[in-house]
Amino acid sequence: MFFVKELERVFYVHASYLGSGLHNELTKRIHTEIEGMIEDNYFIVCILEDDKFSEGRTIPGGGHIEYTAYMKALCWQPYKREVVDGVVLNLVESGFFCEIGALVVFVSQEHMPKDMFFETQGAGPQWTNNKDMTIERSSSVRVRLLGVKATMNRLTGIATINEDYLGVLANS
C-alpha cells in the first residue's frame, strides 16, 4: 500500500558548499540518498517535498554543517494478505520468485493450485497446469502476500497464488 510519509533526515555538508549551491546540494543529497531505500518495512519510492531544511549547525571539530531535512516521501509498504501484481523473475523446482517493485517474493509449490507442476522442457522453465495457467519468466502474476520481511535494504517475502483470481494475469 502506498503512503505519504513525513520523514526527517540529518545531513552533513562540507563547509565548502556553503553558498548559493547549498540548497541544490541538499536537495540532490536527499534524492540520491533516500529514494529507493528501505526503512523499517517500507520502501521509499520518491521524495515529494524536498525543500524544508533546518538551520545549519556547525559540528565542532570538523568542517561539516549539520542540516535536518524535512520531507514528504511516497512510501510503499507491502502488507501481509495484500494482493499485489508482480513479474516473475525466476523459476525453480520448488516454486518461483516474483518481483513486486522492490519486493521479491517466493511462491512455493505449497501455495500454488495442486494441479500445477514444474516443467523444464521446451522454451524455458515454467510452472503450468497445462490448462489456463502457465507461469514462466517475466509473466505477470497476481499474488497474495503471506509474509514480508525487510532486512538489509531488501524486502523479501512469500506469497500464494492458490486462491480465486490469483495467478498469472491474462494479458501477459
Partner 1 sequence: MSTFANTNFEDSDSEGEDFNPDAHVSSDEDAKPARDARKPAKSVKSAAIIEDSDDDDDIKAPVSHAVDDANGDDAKDDEEVDEDEGDKELDDEDDEEEDEEDEEDRPRKRRRKPNHMQFIDEEAEVDDEDEDEEAEDDEIDETHPDDIAELPVGGENDDYRHRELDRQRERLQDQDALTYAEQLKEKYGRQKNLSMRETSGIPQQLLQPSAEDPQIWSVKCKIGKEYEVVNSMMKRFAERLDTPQAIDICSVFARPNAMSGYIYIEAKKQEAAKKISEYVTFCYAQNMNLIQKNEMPDLLKVRKQKEIKLGAFVRLKRPAKYAGDLAQVELVEETASEVTLRIVPRVDMSQDDGSAKRKRPGAAVSRPPQKLFNEGEARKLGGRYIQGRGKNQFTFQGEDYIGGYCIKTVKFAAVETDNVNPTLEEASKFAITTEGEDGQQNQEIDLNAIAASLRETGTGGDFLPGDVVEIFSGEQQGVRGTAAAVHGDVVTIQVAAGPLKGQKIKAPSKSIRKKFEIGNSVKVLMNSKYRNEVGTVLKVAEDRVTLLTDNGQQEITVLSRDLRVSLDFSTSQLNSQYQLRDLVNLDASTVGCVVRENPETVDVLDQNGNVKQMLPSSIAGKIELRRPTVAADRVGSEIRTEDLVQESAGNQRKGIVIHIHRNFLFLEDKLQTENNGVFVVKSSSVTVISAKGGRGEGANLTEMNPALAGKQTGSFGTMGPPGKPGAGKLPIRNRIDGAECMIAKGAQKGVKGRIKDSTNTHARIEFMNRPGVHSYPLEMLKYKTRNGEWQRLDGTPTAGRVPGSRVPYGSRVPAGVSGGNRSAWGDHGGSGSSSNGAGAQTPYWKGNADGARTPAYGGRTSGWDGSRTVNPYNDGSRTAYGNWDSGNRTPAPYASAPTPGAYGANAATPAGLDAPTPGPYLGAPTPGPVDAPTPRVYAYPTPGASAPTPGAFADTPGAYAAETPGAFTAETPGAFAAETPAAFGDDDDEPRYA
Q: Which is nearer to partner 1, 6 or 58 (CB)?
A: 58
Phi, psi of 9 (to 5 degrees): -140, 150
What is the C-alpha separation between 114 and 105, in angstroms, rounded?
A: 19
Which residues between 25 and 64 bind partner 1 (CB under 8 A)?
25
Q: How many residues does the chain have?
A: 172
Q: Which is nearer to partner 1, 28 or 52 (CB)?
A: 28
Q: Which is nearer to partner 1, 56 or 95 (CB)?
A: 95
Three-state secondary-structure class, residue 162? coil
What is the C-alpha separation between 52 and 26, in angstroms, rounded?
A: 10
One-letter amino acid of 148: V
Contact call for residue 147 and partner 1 (CB under 8 A): yes
Is residue 47 within 8 Å of 73, Cβ to Cβ?
Answer: yes
Contact call for residue 144 and partner 1 (CB under 8 A): no
Count of chain residues binding partner 1 (CB under 8 A): 26
**Chosen residue from 23, 52, 57, 80 binding partner 1 by CB under 8 A:** 80
Is residue 103 within 8 Å of 157, Cβ to Cβ?
Answer: yes
Site string for partner 1, 89-118 (x = CB under 8 A): xx-x-xx-x--------x-x-xx-------
Contact call for residue 146 and partner 1 (CB under 8 A): yes
Q: Which is nearer to partner 1, 94 or 130 (CB)?
A: 94
Contact call for residue 155 and partner 1 (CB under 8 A): no
* Cβ neighbours for 78, distance < 8 A, ≥ 6 positions apart: 1, 41, 84, 100, 103, 145, 148, 155, 157
Is residue 99 within 8 Å of 107, Cβ to Cβ?
Answer: no
Contact call for residue 86 and partner 1 (CB under 8 A): no
Chain residues in the site for partner 1 (CB under 8 A): 14, 16-17, 21, 25, 80, 89-90, 92, 94-95, 97, 106, 108, 110-111, 145-149, 151-152, 156-158
